[in-house]
Amino acid sequence: MKLPYAEPFRIKVVEPLRTSTKEERAKWIEDAHFNLFNLRSEQVFIDLLTDSGTGSMSSHQWAEMMLGDESYAGASSFYKLKETIEELLGFPYMLPTHQGRAAENVLFSAIIGKDGTGKVVPGNSHFDTTKGHIEFRNARAIDCTIDEAFDTTIDHPFKGNIDLEKLEKVFKQYDRENIPMCIITVTCNTSGGQPVSMQNIKDVSALCKKYGITVIFDAARFAENAYFIKIREEGYQDKTIKEIVREMFSHVDGCTMSAKKDGIVNMGGFIGLNSKELYEKASVFNIVFEGYLTYGGMTGRDMGALAVGLKEATEYDYLEQRVGQVAYLGRMLRDYGIPVQEPFGGHAIFVDAKRFLTKVPKEEFIAQTLGVELYIEGGVRGVEIGTLLADRDPDTRENRYPDLELLRLAIGRRLYTDSHMEYIAAALKNVYDRRDEITKGLKIVKEAPIMRHFTVELERA
């Protein structure tokens, strides 16, 4: 009999969680203007808002933090991180930043420039900050994800893949100088935490090389992507995660990374590059926006913890349990009849809000409504990946209605037990059982001009 996976760690420190009543939660979310970001952490029982920076660090990471070198220039912790990135990913040039969006800010300043009017950046369902940094510079993000990604009922092993025909159409439509880069997000968060196959990475890289386009990974969850390649793609079953990772990155010119995901740290990020010329150009912006080249936006102790975390995240046993726990939640929800994006992603379960709340109009923010209902029901905080996040069209200022309207339940790394997964599933089932009673959603009272979902204020429609 094949043994099931078990957590490849022991619990040494615990943090108490506060329970609350439905009445309390209903008042708290109203006071928060129905924006889950506005809740205080102590008002949340199980926090699935994000897996970014919420994981638990290992004893080896904590030990490395005690060795942190806080020298302003030339810190040994920087060189530990630099050597780890070169060993794992193959990039000879690295710039540390305080998180992923900072890495985007620095690199996009170097590649797109201050004013990107007329420029486009194709890719697979760009994440919110990625699209925000592109549009902030007056450029446009073009989604070239395969069509299968937008049907949550289709069982496709690599729904994060880029459609080569869509991508080449962009290359033919725009002049080379107006396409500063192509971004491959691994795994693709906005389409449901879906992986990109090695073959697709190779094909996209070859097509970009044909047209002279720079290829950049949004590498926040690269290790989870490598795990899916190992278990789903022919020819990779006998390769180690680290071997797969090295091959993945051999096909791109650089990456940005929010290390708060597959770096398993609470804060940090970096840019990895092959080109010395691009590195030197980006270095200017890194000093302006982040800090000196050997610390960027990070402390020495955080760089040390990240160097260890990157190695731990690329171990098979860790990934088997991490992805397996997400799938455990997904299977329970599916058994309850709750519609979710399938196959299950690596870091989160994405509930198909359109198929869940069929009576709420699309203009009333279906996924956000579902997130509010789940919070009131069980104190579980998820996040909307739908119309609020899609924001308004930069030209018409009309709401953009994406094909997918999802409630993301992001699972922190080494953070919760399977009992927490069972609680989450039961709370969502209770909402599902009364779904036909939910006929009204939410309307906007106040919003920011860009990336509104973080600070938007809403009221009942």
- The verdict on residue 5 lying in a domain is no
pTM comes to 0.95
Domain boundary among 260, 289, 313: 313
Residues 159, 302, single domain; the answer is yes
- The verdict on residue 1 lying in a domain is no
Residues 68, 119, single domain; the answer is yes
Residue 290 amino acid letter = E
Q: How many CB atoms are closer than 10 A to CB 92?
A: 13
- Domain extent for 278: 59-313
In this prediction, residue 164 carries a pLDDT of: 98
Residues 111, 249, single domain; the answer is yes
Residues 413, 424, single domain; the answer is yes
CATH number at residue 336: 3.90.1150.10
Contacts of 427 (CB under 8 A, 6+ apart): 374, 377, 378, 379, 380
Residues 155, 301, single domain; the answer is yes
Residues 270, 289, single domain; the answer is yes
pLDDT in tens, 198-254: 999 999 999 999 999 999 999 999 999 999 999 999 999 999 999 999 999 999 999
**How many structural domains are present in the chain?**
2
In this prediction, residue 28 carries a pLDDT of: 98
Residues of the chain with pLDDT under 70: none
Residues 148, 267, single domain; the answer is yes
In this prediction, residue 307 carries a pLDDT of: 98
- The verdict on residue 272 lying in a domain is yes
pLDDT in tens, 280-324: 999 999 999 999 999 999 999 999 999 999 999 999 999 999 999
Residues 213, 96, single domain; the answer is yes
- Residues labelled catalytic: 72, 127-128, 218, 220, 261, 453
Q: Give the C-alpha separation, 199 to 204, whole Å.
A: 9
- Pairing of the two strands 269-273 and 93-97: antiparallel
CATH number at residue 64: 3.40.640.10
Domain boundary among 293, 313, 333: 313
Domain boundary among 313, 344, 364: 313
- The verdict on residue 232 lying in a domain is yes
Residues 298, 164, single domain; the answer is yes
- The verdict on residue 359 lying in a domain is yes
- The verdict on residue 197 lying in a domain is yes
Residues 278, 335, single domain; the answer is no
- The verdict on residue 157 lying in a domain is yes
- The verdict on residue 14 lying in a domain is no
In this prediction, residue 5 carries a pLDDT of: 75
User: Pick from 295, 299, 311, 302: which is nearest to 265 by CA?
Assistant: 302
In this prediction, residue 393 carries a pLDDT of: 87
Residues 394, 428, single domain; the answer is yes
Residues 303, 422, single domain; the answer is no
